[in-house]
Structure 1
Amino acid sequence: MDPTLDGLDRRILNALQADASYTNQQLAALVHASAATCLRRVKRLTDDGVIMRQVAIVAPEKVGAGLTALVEVTLDHQGDEHQLVFEALVANEASVLQCYRVSPGPDFVLVVQVADMAAYHALAHRLFAAQKNVRNVKTYFSILRSKFETNIAV
């Protein structure tokens, strides 16, 4: 727990994680602070990088991206420069929602959201089959998402 965050900061963060569309007036009332104080705190939390960005969470199946894949990727060469090249490759791929370097086991775990199996196949060819440094890929396809949260306990 970050000691520089006080109770008001934590109330603001929890409220915004639940619903970032609150107006400053609504947020201030919810966290029991003045509007001016709340505005200053949100600005500071944003400037300090605690609040990274505010987004809308979209239902993938409602926008034609109903197939979720969790992908383990192992590289032939694991040096930092090789990992950075792979990370740059997936950073440019909109269907890759998350990319993690992991240990032990594979080098990366990706969270991928695509329309269907044909779209996954095309992505797999671009990101994995066409890359000389990709040694192994193991993909798990989600059949049910029983939990999805974006909030971090603060």
Structure 2
Amino acid sequence: MELDSTDWALLATLQADASASNQALAERVGVSPPTALRRVRRLREAGLIAGQLAVLDEDRIAALQGHGLTVLAEVSLDQQGAAHLAAFERRAVRDDAVQQCYRVSPGPDFVLVARVRDMPGYQALAERLFTQDANVRNVRAFFSVKRAKFAPQVPLSGV
């Protein structure tokens, strides 16, 4: 699929603010609303736009709920065969507490970012993902005390 400057501008604009109306999006990019709608539909159908969501402020939500703990965990498996890696990955991505799951190299086999309510919530996560699986050799968990930056945007070279 070939992308032109309008496609790249649409992607960049949507990535910055996916809540913009089609009219506002068209104005920001400098195209007509029907063109913006058609192009965004094409980008979505091509799989370049995976979805749209609202990014919530974890700390403010935690203040309302009373708790909140972000966990970064390095997970090493005993056996790293393709089937073993795939099995752990399937279990991790199915778990509601896991927000991000990366297969990495070198070092541990996986890095997980998880959000739990509190330490008992982390303990329950650890039992589900790490201690019940005989193939998990080592886990190093880190608990966030402050998030200084969160920028999930993908760098776009065509803009």
User: Which whole-Å CA distance do the structure 1 matches of 2:78 and 2:153 have between them?
Assistant: 35
Q: Which runs of 5+ in 2 are unaligned?
A: none
Identical-residue share of aligned pairs (%): 49
The residue number in structure 1 matching 2:124 is: 122
After superposition, give the CA deviation of every residue in 1:42-101 in whole Å (9 maximum; x if it has no partner). Answer: 011101111010111112231546211110000111000001110111121011001111
- Looking at structure 2, the residues matched to 10 and 25 of structure 1 have their Cα atoms a distance apart, in angstroms, of 17
- Equivalent-residue separation in structure 1 for 2:57 and 2:122 (angstroms): 18
> What secondary structure sits across from 2:107 in the alignment?
coil
Residues 53-62 or 33-42, more deviating: 53-62
- TM-score normalised to structure 1 length: 0.94
CA RMSD of aligned residues (A): 1.3
| 2:34 pairs with 1:36 | yes
- Matched residue pairs, number? 152
Which of 56, 59, 67 is residue 58 of structure 1 equivalent to? Answer: 56
CA positional deviation for 1:153: 2.0
Of 83-92 and 3-12, deviating more is 3-12
Partner of 2:134: 132
- Superposed, 1:28-107 pairs within 5 Å as 28-61=26-59, 62-63=61-62, 64=65, 66-107=68-109
Contiguous gaps of at least 5 residues in structure 1: none
